[in-house]
Each structure stands twice: as C-alpha cells, then as structure tokens.
C-alpha cells in the first residue's frame, strides 16, 4: 500500500497557458493539485517570475530600489535586458507609464512596444495604468501592431474587456482579466470572456495587495479560486493566476524607508501569494526576486 | 408554505410618500392586491419610525379595514410596535425581535403581553452568526429566554437571516444546514425569513428565479413561511404546491447531479440555480450562462 492510495485525485486541471512566440515561449499553470501539494497530484510548470520595466523613467522610487536600475531607467530595452541577463527574470512586464502623460499617443507607444518585444529573448507582458479608457486605446493598438507576438495584455476590467479581448483575439495574444477582490465578479468576467475568447489564453488577476495592506483578502480569494478550479473543477476558473505585487509593495512606507525591509516586504508578499496559488508573479526589486526564487525552489 | 407579503415597505417610494401624507388609499390597494395574489400575512414595514411611532397604529388600522388577513408588524422600534399591537383585531405577528439585549428587554416582552406570535432572528449583540452551528447556539439562547418570559416555542418564528448570495454564497449553504437542524434544537418552533434579500445585488431580471427556487428548497427543509414579493406569481404558485413538475425537478437536482446538456432551457436554468444555491458551483451574475 502506498501513500497515494489514500488520495482521491483532484478533478480540475489548470489550463496551460503559453506566453510569447515559439522559440522564446514560457508556459504557465497546468497543475492538477493545490500549490506545493506535489504529493497529491500533478504539479504544473514552476511559478514564473517577471520583473517590471517602465516605458518612461519611474518617479518616486526609493533609492534602494532605483539603484538596481540606475543606468537603464530611461532605456526600456536596456532595462529589460538587465532584468533578463543579470537578474534572471523569466518574463518582462512592461508598465505603460507613458499613458499617464497628457499627450500619450497609442500608435507611438505600440511601435515602441513592438521594438521591445522584438528585441527581447523572453515573452513580454504589457500592462496599462488602470485607466479603463487609456488602457483600452493603447492595448487595442498594441494588439494590432504586435500581431503574432503572443503578448500577455492587461488589465482587462468589466468596462473595457470586450474591445481589448477582441483585439487580442485577432492579434493572437493572451490576456489578463482583473476583478476587484471579489471571486464572484472574477467568475463573471471569465464567463463573459469565455463566450468569444479561448480559455487557453487567459491568466486571471484577482487583484493583489501587499503585506499589511490587505494581503489577507488577496490570499483568501486566490486560495478559493484555486480550490474551486482544482477541487470543484469549475470550468470558468481553471486559469493560471497572476500576482502583480511590485507596485503595491513599493508604495508602502515600510518598503520605502529601508532596503532590507523593502526587499523582504516584496519577497514575502510574493511568497504568500504563491502559497495561495499564483502561477506568475510580477515584481520590482531584483533581490526580492532572488530571495523568493530561493524560497520556492529550496535551492541556493 | 405561509407567505408574508413584503410589498408594503418603507423603502418603496409609493409607500413612504403615502405614509408621510397619511394617505391610506395606495396602501390599502397594495394590501388588497397582495391578499388577492395569495399572501397569507401582510407585512407592514414602517422602518424605525423614531419620530413618528404612532404611524404603526394608523397603518395597521387602515389596512385591517380592507383585508381580513393577519398583519406582520415590521419595525425595530418597540414603541411603534406596541402602538400597532394595541389596535390589531386579528392577532398579528411581531416582526421582529432578536437576541440583542435591547430587543430581549423591550420587544420580546410585547409578544408575551399581547399573546401573539413573534419572529425571532438569530441576530445577537455580537452580530449575525456566520455558520449553522453559531446560528444554532444563538437561537437556542434567545429561545430559552423567550420561554422563560412565557412565550412557548410554537409562537416563535425563527428567522435564520438570509444573506445576499452575491456577497457571501457560503452563507446560503449554512442557512440551509441550519434549517435542517432547527426542529431538533427548537421543537415546534416555526420559521420565516426575508427571501428577497437572497437576490439583493443580483441583476434585477434574475432575482425571481433565484428567489423562487430557493423558496422551494426551503420548503423541503420544512421552512414554515417566508417574507416574499407577493406579486411574483410563479413564486406564489410554487409555494402553494401548484407547480409539482418544477418542484420535483428542484428536489431531484438537490439529491443528485442532473446533466443539463439535454434539458430544455427552462429546466436547465432550474438545475443550474439549484447547483448555485447548494454551493456546488461558484456564483456569478451569469450563472445561467455557463
């Protein structure tokens, strides 16, 4: 008799989502068990990590974060290269900070994104600023201009998911639908998307919060999403999840006031949400990345 | 199942305007319409009525002029409650008392004094209990207190407090669990609940199906009554046992996983709704579309 004889196999398998064009693609998800429960069922691909790059020089970053990128902050391509080659990012998450300026031109932004995507050796995530109209305009344009590059585009919210998803579908990209810390609304958006968008190209964002700033809500919801998908086999919830934590961690006063504290804040926020079920984590500080990778793999 | 008509409610503009103007006509019409639609009790929700506790006396008076149904006096204000109780010709239902200290001291004794039935909710000073066993614990204490002051179980209508499914789906499942054990913990007690709160937050056009199917499920768990929208014709029919086919399908879906792929849409919708209410599938506003 073996230990596994006592386990009932889980019914639901998280969809395996492929980001990036062939040759430099990265897969996410694919597990048929709960996080770190390898003894109960098939584990998917390992958790993937993206580092953030801004398309305009970021403002308000503390020196102990800024210094890791001081030489590349105004050059997204060099910045991304540094994240990949020096810091070991599996993917790059490009934050379209330029959308915050008055005269942002979606066509120009899209061309710039294409240049970055072409140059990189890893897949590209492209994230808007969270303004439903600005994001929609830019992401639709980017989806067109970058056809075939299989970017991961987001966030899609209930007010703009239709137009962005349609463009992503035509351009052959994957998407990140985002819901406001509410599992029922998360499912709602997935149901609506599933009517016209392939489930194999969806990574959901139930919204992440940092330690001390509501991570318990994020944890509960991500945990429930994973349970509903894996244990209850809910067709609409079997998507990999993303935890986009850099922004929320580095705006906390705890992360800003001290280097070690900031790195730990981000690494432990990441690790906590990986325990809850995140398949992809978007981070900011290379040392937090290093630390959490070490925690997850158990290797030095 | 006994139906308490909820349609005279202070949150309705027609009702609040009529109350303010002391214009009995629209209120009497609503009461007559509800009685004709099949309501067994007419609920009179006047809100807390802090500035105007006599309103209950007036409204109970004008309503009982036109309908011969018992009234359900719905206010949290004991002064308004007593004003209403003093004029009722048919013994009314006190809606409601709870396990909160203030309610135990001021509202519950009115049921003993006027010898009438009383809705007793699971609410306690610590708030609304969040699972079936804490509901049980709360209600047992409150019922014991009610017994002590002379109100027997059969005059108590236990209200387990329905929560919106769109806010907290597991609570609906907990409520069913509580209904299953209620007769064991409070023998002979009756029960009732505000059914429509279940679909609070759900898109308007989908509220009916959720309410109706939940009511049939509650009926099966021996729920004695519910406070409902009297003008939902199908709901009233279902509660009065006039739609046996639908009821049987609901019961079957409760007992086993029914495959919806070959069912006509109306029946598939029923099964999907049962699955959501039983907590088998995760609720979303588009639960019928999956």
On chain B, the residues whose CB falls within 8 A of the CB of A237 are: 282
For the beta sheet containing B190-191, the strands, ordered from the edge strand earlier in sequence to the opposite edge, are B190-191, B156-159, B117-124, B93-99, B71-74, B41-45, B2-5, B225-228
Mean pLDDT of chain B, nearest integer:
97
Instruction: Write the residue in B169, B280, B290 that is nearest to A236 by C-beta.
Output: B290
Is residue B96 within 8 A of residue B118, CB to CB? The reply is yes
Is residue A146 within 8 A of residue A171, CB to CB? The reply is yes
Out of A207-211, A295-299, B173-177, which region has the weakest mean confidence (pLDDT)?
Answer: A295-299
Distance between CA atoms of residues A63 and A53, nearest Å: 16
Instruction: Write the residue in A191, A195, A232 that is nearest to B284 by C-beta.
Output: A191
- What pLDDT does residue B144 have? 97
Is residue A134 within 8 A of residue A102, CB to CB? The reply is no
DSSP A69: G
Q: How far is B40 from chain A (nearest CA, A)?
A: 35
Q: What is the CATH number of the domain that holds B7?
A: 3.20.20.20
* Cis, peptide link before residue B96, omega less than 30° from 0: yes
- What pLDDT does residue A1 have? 75
On chain A, the residues whose CB falls within 8 A of the CB of B166 are: 184
Phi and psi torsions of B131, nearest 5°: -145, 175
How much is the average pLDDT of A99-110? 93
On chain A, the residues whose CB falls within 8 A of the CB of B172 are: none
- What pLDDT does residue A102 have? 85
pLDDT at A160 over 80: yes
B→A contacts (Cβ < 8 Å), by residue, are 166, 169, 280-286, 289-290
pLDDT at B138 over 90: yes
Q: Give all strands (DSSP E) within A20-157, no chain letters.
A: 26-29, 48-54, 91-95, 124-127, 152-156
On chain B, the residues whose CB falls within 8 A of the CB of A193 are: none
Q: What is the pLDDT of residues B249-266, one digit of tens each?
A: 999 999 999 999 999 999
Q: What is the pLDDT of residues B21-74, one digit of tens each?
A: 999 999 999 999 999 999 999 999 999 998 999 999 999 999 999 999 999 999
For residue A182, the chain B residue with the least C-alpha distance is B167
The CATH classification number of A3-291 equals: 3.20.20.20
Q: What is the pLDDT of residues A65-86, one digit of tens each?
A: 999 999 999 999 999 999 999 9
Quick count: other Cβ atoms within 10 Å of Cβ B181?
A: 14
Within a domain: residue B27? Answer: yes
Q: How confident is the model at residue A148 (pLDDT cuts 50, 70, 90)?
A: very high
Q: What is the pLDDT of residues B99-132, one digit of tens each?
A: 999 999 999 999 999 999 999 999 999 999 999 9
For residue B283, the chain A residue with the least C-alpha distance is A184
Mutate to test the interface with A, among B286, B287, B288, B289 (most CBs of A within 10 A): B286
The candidate with the shortest Cα–Cα distance to A205, out of A217, A222, A220, A191, is A222
For residue A192, the chain B residue with the least C-alpha distance is B286
With a pLDDT cut of 70, the percent of chain B lying above it is 100
Q: What is the pLDDT of residues A40-54, one digit of tens each?
A: 999 999 999 999 999
Q: Do residue B280 and residue A237 have CB atoms under 8 angstroms apart?
A: no
Quick count: other Cβ atoms within 10 Å of Cβ B154?
A: 12
- What pLDDT does residue A6 have? 81
Query: What does chain A come to in residues?
Result: 300
Q: Return all residues near A192 (Cβ < 8 A) that are at least 6 apart.
A: A158, A161, B286
Q: Which helix H or strand E contains A109, and what residues bound it?
A: helix A106-119
A→B contacts (Cβ < 8 Å), by residue, are 183-188, 190-192, 194-195, 228, 232, 234-237
- What pLDDT does residue A11 have? 93
Within a domain: residue B253? Answer: no
Q: What is the pLDDT of residues A231-268, one digit of tens each?
A: 999 999 999 999 999 999 999 999 999 999 999 999 99
Within a domain: residue B154? Answer: yes
Q: How confident is the model at residue B194 (pLDDT cuts 50, 70, 90)?
A: very high
Q: How far is B280 from chain A (nearest CA, A)?
A: 8
Q: Do residue B284 and residue A237 have CB atoms under 8 angstroms apart?
A: no
pLDDT at B165 over 80: yes
Q: How far is A185 from chain B (nearest CA, A)?
A: 6
On chain A, the residues whose CB falls within 8 A of the CB of B286 are: 188, 191-192
pLDDT at A4 over 80: no
Within a domain: residue B250? Answer: no
Out of A5-14, A175-184, B1-10, B139-148, which region has the weakest mean confidence (pLDDT)?
Answer: A5-14
- What pLDDT does residue A300 have? 65
- What pLDDT does residue B223 have? 97
On chain A, the residues whose CB falls within 8 A of the CB of B284 are: 184-188, 190-191, 236
Q: Do residue A191 and residue B289 have CB atoms under 8 angstroms apart?
A: yes
Q: How confident is the model at residue B136 (pLDDT cuts 50, 70, 90)?
A: very high
Q: Give all strands (DSSP E) within B93-167, no chain letters.
A: 93-99, 117-124, 156-159
Q: Do residue B281 and residue A184 have CB atoms under 8 angstroms apart?
A: no
The residue extents of the domains of chain A are: 3-291
Q: Where in the sequence is the domain holding B108, given as residue range(s)? A: 2-243
Q: How confident is the model at residue B159 (pLDDT cuts 50, 70, 90)?
A: very high
CA-based end-to-end distance of chain A: 35
Query: Among positive and negative, which fits the CA dihedral A20, A25, A28, A32?
Result: positive
Question: Rounded to an integer, what is the distance from CA B12 to the centroid of its chain?
Answer: 17
CA-based end-to-end distance of chain B: 32
């Amino acid at each position: 008799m073996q230990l596994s004889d006592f386990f009932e196999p889980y019914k639901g398998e998280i969809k395996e989502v492929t980001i990036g064009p062939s040759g430099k693609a990265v897969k996410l998800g694919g597990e048929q068990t709960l996080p770190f429960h390898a003894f109960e069922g098939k584990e998917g691909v390992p958790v993937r990590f993206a580092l953030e790059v801004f398309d305009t020089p970021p403002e308000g970053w503390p020196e102990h974060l800024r210094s890791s990128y001081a030489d590349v902050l105004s050059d997204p391509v060099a910045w991304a290269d540094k994240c990949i080659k020096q810091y070991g990012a599996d993917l790059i998450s490009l934050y379209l900070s330029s959308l915050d300026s008055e005269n942002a031109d979606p066509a120009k932004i899209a061309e710039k994104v294409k240049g970055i995507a072409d140059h990189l050796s890893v897949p590209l995530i492209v994230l808007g600023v969270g303004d439903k109209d600005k994001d929609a305009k830019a992401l639709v344009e980017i989806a067109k201009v970058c056809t075939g590059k299989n970017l991961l585009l987001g966030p899609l919210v209930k007010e703009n998911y239709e137009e962005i998803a349609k463009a992503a579908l035509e351009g052959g990209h994957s998407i990140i639908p985002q819901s406001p810390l509410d599992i029922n609304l998360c499912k709602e958006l997935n149901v609506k998307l599933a009517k016209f968008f392939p489930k194999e190209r969806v990574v959901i964002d139930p919204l992440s919060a940092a330690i001390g700033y509501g991570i318990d809500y994020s944890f509960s919801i991500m945990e429930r999403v994973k349970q509903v998908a894996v244990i209850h086999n809910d067709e609409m919830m079997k998507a990999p999840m993303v935890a986009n934590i850099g922004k929320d961690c580095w705006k906390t006063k705890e992360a800003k006031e001290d280097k070690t504290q900031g790195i730990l804040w981000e690494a432990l926020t990441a690790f906590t949400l990986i325990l809850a079920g995140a398949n992809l984590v978007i981070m900011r500080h290379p040392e937090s990345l290093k630390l959490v990778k070490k925690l997850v793999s158990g290797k030095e | 199942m006994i139906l308490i008509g909820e349609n005279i409610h202070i949150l309705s503009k027609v009702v609040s305007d009529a109350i303010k103007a002391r214009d009995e006509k629209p209120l009497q019409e609503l009461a007559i319409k509800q009685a004709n639609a099949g309501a067994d009790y007419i609920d009179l929700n006047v809100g807390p009525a802090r500035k105007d506790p006599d309103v209950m006396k007036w409204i109970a008076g004008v309503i009982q002029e036109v309908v011969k149904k018992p009234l359900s006096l719905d206010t949290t204000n004991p002064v308004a409650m007593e004003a209403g109780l003093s004029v009722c010709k048919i013994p009314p239902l006190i809606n409601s008392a709870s396990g909160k200290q203030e309610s135990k001291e001021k509202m519950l004794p009115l049921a003993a004094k006027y010898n009438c039935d009383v809705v007793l909710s699971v609410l306690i000073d610590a708030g609304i209990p969040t699972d079936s066993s804490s509901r049980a614990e709360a209600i047992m204490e409150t019922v014991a207190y009610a017994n002590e002051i002379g109100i027997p179980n059969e005059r108590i209508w236990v209200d387990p407090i329905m929560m919106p499914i769109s806010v907290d789906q597991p609570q609906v499942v907990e409520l069913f669990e509580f209904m299953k054990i209620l007769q064991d913990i409070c023998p002979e007690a009756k029960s009732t609940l505000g059914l429509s709160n279940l679909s609070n937050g759900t898109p308007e056009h989908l509220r009916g199906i959720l309410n109706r199917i939940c009511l049939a499920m509650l009926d099966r768990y021996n729920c004695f009554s519910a406070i409902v929208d009297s003008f939902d014709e199908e709901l009233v029919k279902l509660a009065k046992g006039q739609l046996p086919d639908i009821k049987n399908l609901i019961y079957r879906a409760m007992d086993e996983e029914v495959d919806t792929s070959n069912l006509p849409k109306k029946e598939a919708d029923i099964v999907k709704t049962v699955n959501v209410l039983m907590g088998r599938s995760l609720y979303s506003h588009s639960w019928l579309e999956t």
